[in-house]
Amino acid sequence: MTTKSPRGTSRSDHPVAYLTDVEGIWEKLTSFCQDNPHVSLEGERLEVRPGSTFVFGGDAIDRGPDGRRVVRTLLEAWRRQPSQVVLLAGNRDINKLRLVRELRGHPLARTPAEMREAPRPVLLRWIFENSMGARGAFEFRQEELERSGGPVSEEDVVDSFLEDLGPGGLLRDYLTACQLVHRIGNTLFVHGGVHEDSLGMVPARGRVEGVDAWGEALNGWYREQLRAFAEGRFEPGGTPAWEPVIAYQAPTPGKRINTASVVYGRMADEVNHPGLPSRALIETLTRSGIHRLVVGHTPSGDCPSVLREEDFELILADNSYGRVEGASRVFLREDSVCVEGRAKLDDGRLEQVCFQLELGDTGPIGRQLRDTGQLVKGPLESGDWLLFRALPRYSMEQLSVAPSALEGRGLGPARANTT
């Protein structure tokens, strides 16, 4: 993907480069790094340029045949440039911790009896498809292993996942390098979302006052959970001591969201149409100097959604379930954001989306049409505006309209009911 910089701006002036939800698809990482002023990729070596920060928002694996390759590249970059690389843990990354128990005789209670007695490869496929939302992950790993040469059995595939979680294992080391929340200036990064019952809350500890103290405590709790996993600790009643982090990254039973979790919270409604936090939550964040929340996790069309209200903005930049190949790009600084991407419209046209938006801008970007609920995503290269609306079953509406079509239309902040 090659796009021109927004008119009159330079992406190099926005030193934070953000990417999320690669999900095992190598092309998403390579397209993000192509012509990127902050992050380059030579072979499998990812390099962050001096003065820049690269934030990866989580979900490195599951839906493509290069999961190990992606994880290895991100982890190596973090080890080499720890002050410039930030890795957030996504639900697709954390939930693999379940496998060490479920594949060794302790499957979930809802696992069918025939699956409990099935060979390990059969059980693993069932887990991926029925309790991890990772249909095809088994075959993707088999494909990745086969590229290394030599025969690969289905048992070898199972062993590879367990090896990744064992001592010195690739995914175990990657998860240890990750965190749950990160702040850079006035911007807060989490994988999924922030809600009233997640902000300030730390499992087993309760409420922590202050955004920075909360973030430090939540990351500390996460690190302790990873240590408990690595040490194989159990509670007196026989429950794994790391079970709380498994629950934290999962949806609330019977729902598609967990508003008590920054990993599985969604800044969207039941069909994934994006929405701002409540005004009360925004005021809590802004009092702590947070004027921007950046998340992934929830599909939001082909290019990032930037939602705005007064002195606050929400950026959703998940790269999954889109119509285009490759990944979009988000570049940040304190007072503005640059967005680059592509969108395939409902009429089949492929358009470039490229703009800079100042914090506090009063234009139509990031506002929602009151009569239709469509989000004004940004300007298209053709000069029209891109309108977006999420629809059921991960489908979407992406339309272009002339600037004159927005004149006289009521525009307001987009809010979603996430309860």
Q: What are phi and psi of 295, to 5 degrees?
A: -140, 165
Q: Does some domain include residue 385?
A: no
- Interhelix angle 120-131/154-165, nearest 10 degrees: 60
Reply yes or no on whether the pLDDT at 8 is more than 50.
no
Reply yes or no on whether the pLDDT at 417 is more than 80.
no
Q: What are phi and psi of 50, to 5 degrees?
A: -55, 135
Band (pLDDT 50/70/90 cuts) for residue 11 is confident
Q: How far is CA 148 from the centre of its chain?
A: 28
Mean pLDDT of 54-58: 98
Cα–Cα distance, 390 to 268 (Å, whole number): 9
Cα–Cα distance, 239 to 410 (Å, whole number): 54
pLDDT tens sequence across 349-369: 999 999 999 999 989 999 999
Mean pLDDT of 288-301: 97
Cα–Cα distance, 163 to 171 (Å, whole number): 9
Question: Mean pLDDT, the chain, as a whole number?
Answer: 94
pLDDT at residue number 276:
97
Band (pLDDT 50/70/90 cuts) for residue 9 is low
Find tokens 């000069």 and name the residue: 383
Q: Does some domain include residue 102?
A: yes
Q: Does some domain include residue 113?
A: no
What pTM was computed for the model?
A: 0.96
Q: Does some domain include residue 116?
A: no
Reply yes or no on whether the pLDDT at 188 is more than 50.
yes
Would you say 71 and 61 are in contact if contact means Cβ atoms under 8 Å apart?
yes
Q: How many domains does the chain contain in total?
A: 1
Q: Which domain holds residue 86?
A: 11-106+140-344
pLDDT at residue number 5:
46
Would you say 211 and 187 are in contact if contact means Cβ atoms under 8 Å apart?
no
Band (pLDDT 50/70/90 cuts) for residue 251 is very high
Give the dihedral of Cα atoms 101, 102, 106, 108; nearest 10 deg.
Answer: 130
pLDDT at residue number 418:
54
Reply yes or no on whether the pLDDT at 196 is more than 50.
yes
Q: Does some domain include residue 408?
A: no
Give the dihedral of Cα atoms 303, 337, 57, 352; nearest 10 deg.
Answer: 20
Among residues 128, 118, 154, 5, the alpha carbon closest in space to that of 62 is found at 128
The two counts, helices (H) then strands (E), for the chain are: 12, 20
pLDDT at residue number 393:
85
pLDDT at residue number 257:
95
CATH number at residue 306: 3.60.21.10
Reply yes or no on whether the pLDDT at 2 is more than 80.
no
Q: Does some domain include residue 21?
A: yes
pLDDT tens sequence across 319-332: 899 999 999 999 99
Q: Does some domain include residue 375?
A: no
Proportion of the chain above pLDDT 70, given as a percent: 97
Reply yes or no on whether the pLDDT at 6 is more than 80.
no
Reply yes or no on whether the pLDDT at 1 is more than 80.
no
What residues contact 13, with CB distance under 8 A and at least 6 apart?
333
pLDDT at residue number 415:
78
Band (pLDDT 50/70/90 cuts) for residue 281 is very high
Q: Does some domain include residue 3?
A: no
